[in-house]
């Protein structure tokens, strides 16, 4: 079982650049839905500001409802949980630190309280299993590794009116895999060696400015130009052929092979539903901006 250092003081949580918190484990190992390992890395090395969540409604109500979720978990399961204000630091991975929501009385077990919107409900499986969203599962596994305890419970309030509880058992194999991945991530932080990009957004963050091409890459750009020129000619030829065939077919739906009578081309109509933008704007009025999202993308252009 993993050994841990537990203390009531002396563990520095003031500078988040110096450690990975238990709530950041999913991002560090690439299992967070909204944050990649590169995002977390950039925060740790000081190249990116940590988002200010002080006015985030979800975070606010998650904190407000923590006691409610814990009390409901205890009432429904009969498992007594108490607040535990100790600081935890992993003995073998001193950069790995955290706090827990609750400890189960008389057991080597803990409990995490969550709130989730109703759209996440389908991501949860049968109660009392560990069939929960990977982000939550990874966080609970992180707590098990950090504390060295036997199991972790999760109580979640979904959509404000549906409560469920789950249990994650400790696994030496899972602990080992998680700890190895965390160690590799922190090595990257220490050596200023950023994780490989796993999204197009990562690429934008990692390579935001111009660079001089190597000879090999310059040759590949030339080859790309030639391929694109060939494709452009083929697309033009394709369009001309399609026009001639459509002019021959006119209003018929199927073109048959003259030798065997088998269908060669079908050109049938199909109904497509489109959003009526004008009607939506009229219906929402000034509230339209609440449903709009601005995104920034990079356009790949061959000069």
Residue 258 placed within a domain = yes
The pair of structure tokens assigned to 140 is 């609970």
Residue 109 sits in which domain range?
Answer: 4-206
Whether residues 140 and 250 fall in one domain = no
Contact call for residues 35 and 195 (beta carbons, < 8 A): no
Residue 183 placed within a domain = yes
Tokens 């933008």 belong to: 277
Domains contained in the chain, number:
2
Strand partners, 109: 151
Residue 301 placed within a domain = no
Whether residues 162 and 220 fall in one domain = no
Whether residues 145 and 191 fall in one domain = yes
Whether residues 153 and 258 fall in one domain = no
Per-residue pLDDT, 43: 94
pLDDT in tens, 13-58: 778 899 999 999 999 999 999 999 999 999 999 988 887 777 788 8
Cα(45)–Cα(186) distance, integer angstroms: 11
Q: Could you say which residues of the chain have pLDDT below 50?
A: 1-9, 300, 302
Whether residues 194 and 279 fall in one domain = no
* Global pTM value: 0.67
Q: What are phi and psi of 128, to 5 degrees?
A: 65, 10
Out of 206, 235, 262, a domain closes at 206
Whether residues 61 and 180 fall in one domain = yes
Whether residues 107 and 196 fall in one domain = yes
């Amino acid at each position: 079982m993993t050994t841990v250092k537990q203390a009531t003081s002396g563990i520095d949580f003031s500078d988040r650049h110096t450690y990975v918190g238990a709530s950041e484990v999913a991002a560090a190992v690439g299992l967070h839905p909204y944050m990649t390992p590169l995002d977390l890395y950039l925060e740790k090395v000081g190249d990116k500001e940590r988002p200010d969540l002080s006015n985030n409604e979800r975070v606010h109500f998650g904190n407000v409802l923590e006691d409610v979720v814990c009390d409901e978990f205890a009432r429904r399961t009969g498992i007594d949980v108490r607040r535990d204000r100790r600081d935890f630091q992993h003995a073998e991975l001193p950069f790995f630190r955290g706090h827990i929501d609750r400890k189960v009385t008389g057991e080597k077990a803990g409990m995490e309280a969550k709130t989730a919107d109703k759209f996440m409900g389908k991501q949860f499986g049968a109660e009392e299993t560990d069939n929960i969203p990977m982000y939550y599962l990874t966080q609970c596994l992180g707590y098990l590794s950090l504390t060295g305890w036997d199991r972790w419970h999760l109580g979640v309030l979904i959509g404000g009116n549906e409560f469920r509880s789950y249990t994650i058992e400790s696994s030496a194999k899972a602990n080992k895999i998680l700890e190895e991945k965390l160690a590799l991530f922190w090595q990257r932080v220490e050596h200023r060696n950023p994780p490989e990009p796993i999204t197009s957004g990562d690429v934008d963050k990692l390579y935001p400015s111009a660079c001089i091409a190597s000879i090999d890459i310059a040759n590949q750009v030339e080859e790309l130009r030639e391929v694109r020129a060939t494709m452009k000619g083929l697309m033009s030829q394709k369009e001309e052929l399609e026009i001639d065939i459509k002019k021959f077919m006119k209003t018929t739906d199927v073109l048959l092979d003259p030798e065997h009578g088998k269908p060669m081309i079908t050109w049938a109509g199909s109904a497509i539903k489109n959003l009526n933008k004008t009607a939506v704007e009229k219906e929402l009025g000034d509230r339209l901006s609440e449903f709009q999202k601005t995104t920034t993308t990079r356009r790949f252009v061959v000069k």
